[in-house]
Amino acid sequence: MEAERGRKTLYSAAQPSGNLTIGNYVGAIRNWVRLQEGNDCFYAIANMHSITVRQEPAELRRRTLEAAALYIACGVDPEKCTLYVQSQVPQHAELTWVLNSLTYVGEMSRMTQFKDKSQKHADNINMGLMDYPVLMAADILLYQVDGVPVGLDQKQHVEIARDIAIRFNNRYGETFRVPEPLILKTGAKIMSLQEPTKKMSKSDENLNASIFFADDKDTIIRKFKRAVTDSGNDIRYSEEKAGVSNLLTIYSVFRDCTVEEAEKEFAGKGYGEFKLAVGETVADKLAPVQAEQKKLLADKAYLAGVLASGAERAFKAARKTLSKVYRKIGFYQGE
Ligand code: TRP
């Protein structure tokens, strides 16, 4: 690789659990596509993280492939980045085991996400749930990366990965590059269509609250028609008008215009017409992505090939780091 100025090695991953929404696209996938230009990116489908909460096996497998196909359909280019499935690279589990011995139960039990998920899954507070941040640290540290682009909710996990890296380096000598969290300005935060002060979530129980990648045009338009707005009638971005503002944001993202331009376009028009226009814009933008995803999913051999070559590239990089780790900590590796 030529030493281009500013070229960085980056790592990010997303769980394959849940059906992805347009909020995921705006928050994460769009950034993955952008960052693969000019950087060396590793992007994983973090299925090992997913099993920390109960999963239906057939569904987990299906969603893993659907996620891979969707990322590619959205523009993640397996020629430009390393796209792979976490469980296909055994070093993730192996390094996790080593890092476990440098991580304290106390610090893991204080992690925000662990506390949240323990509450939400009170009947299944398993070791994996508590170990989740260590697996994530292993993900990142295996690839000696400069930065980890994530949403704000994952910042604490990247910080613990840094702490663990520094701790290891202090104890055994320089081994891991200490990564920086790159907290992505998503530019736009997409809110629930039903409770516009809440983030759009793939796990929202109200299916009308979220636009899923898999939704067809009629569904999308119906959901936008039902979107909660205020009782006023002007289409203007403001804090008191959370619903209308959210629709303006969505429109501007999918239309590739500014919110001001969107406001101008709809000045003097009614909510009904506005909602229909947003729905149509989103549906028309998603249609080619859906078609491409479908095409990719129909060609299982192609997808398997792409993921196998991604896993192979990741494996080579990961093996190098793990072998160094094993040497440092005194694991016998033969002659
Ligand atoms: N925990 C992340 C999430 O749920 C996904 C993830 C797993 C990840 N491993 C990672 C993100 C490594 C960044 C780096 O969003």
Mean pLDDT of the 266-284 span: 96
For residue 154 and ligand 1, the question of a CB distance below 6 A is answered with yes
pLDDT of residue 188: 74
Q: Which amino acid is at 257?
A: C
User: Active-site residue 199, yes or no?
Assistant: yes
**Token pair 């006023």: residue:** 232
pLDDT of residue 20: 86
For residue 45 and ligand 1, the question of a CB distance below 6 A is answered with no
Which tokens hold the place of 65? 């492939």
Is residue 214 predicted with pLDDT exceeding 70?
yes
Mean pLDDT of the 128-148 span: 98
At 183 the three-state DSSP class reads strand
Task: Tell me the average pLDDT of the chain.
Answer: 94
Which tokens hold the place of 201? 């979530």
Helix (H) or strand (E) holding 40: strand 40-45
pLDDT digits (tens, 9 = 90+) for 67-123: 999 999 999 999 999 999 999 999 999 999 999 999 999 999 999 999 999 999 999
Three state DSSP letters for 310-332? HHHHHHHHHHHHHHHHHHHHCCC
Quote the ligand 1 centre to 107 CA distance (angstroms): 18
For residue 11 and ligand 1, the question of a CB distance below 6 A is answered with yes
By C-alpha distance, which of 236, 237, 238, 212 is closest to 223?
212
Mean pLDDT of the 218-230 span: 96
Is residue 225 predicted with pLDDT exceeding 70?
yes
For residue 148 and ligand 1, the question of a CB distance below 6 A is answered with yes
For residue 94 and ligand 1, the question of a CB distance below 6 A is answered with no
pLDDT of residue 328: 98
pLDDT of residue 197: 93
Q: Is the dihedral of CA 322, 44, 312, 55 positive or negative?
A: positive
By C-alpha distance, which of 43, 48, 85 is closest to 64?
85
pLDDT digits (tens, 9 = 90+) for 276-309: 999 999 999 999 999 999 999 999 999 999 999 9
- Total-model pTM: 0.91
pLDDT of residue 23: 87
Residues 6 or more apart in contact with residue 218 via CB below 8 angstroms: none
Residue 289, CA distances (Å) to 69, 71, 74 in order: 10, 9, 6
pLDDT band at 252 (very low <50, low <70, confident <90, very high): very high
Q: Are 84 and 71 in contact (CB under 8 A)?
A: no
Quote the ligand 1 centre to 196 CA distance (angstroms): 26
Q: Are 84 and 76 in contact (CB under 8 A)?
A: no
Nearest CA to ligand 1 atom 13: 12
- With a pLDDT cut of 70, the percent of the chain lying above it is 98
Quote the ligand 1 centre to 149 CA distance (angstroms): 9
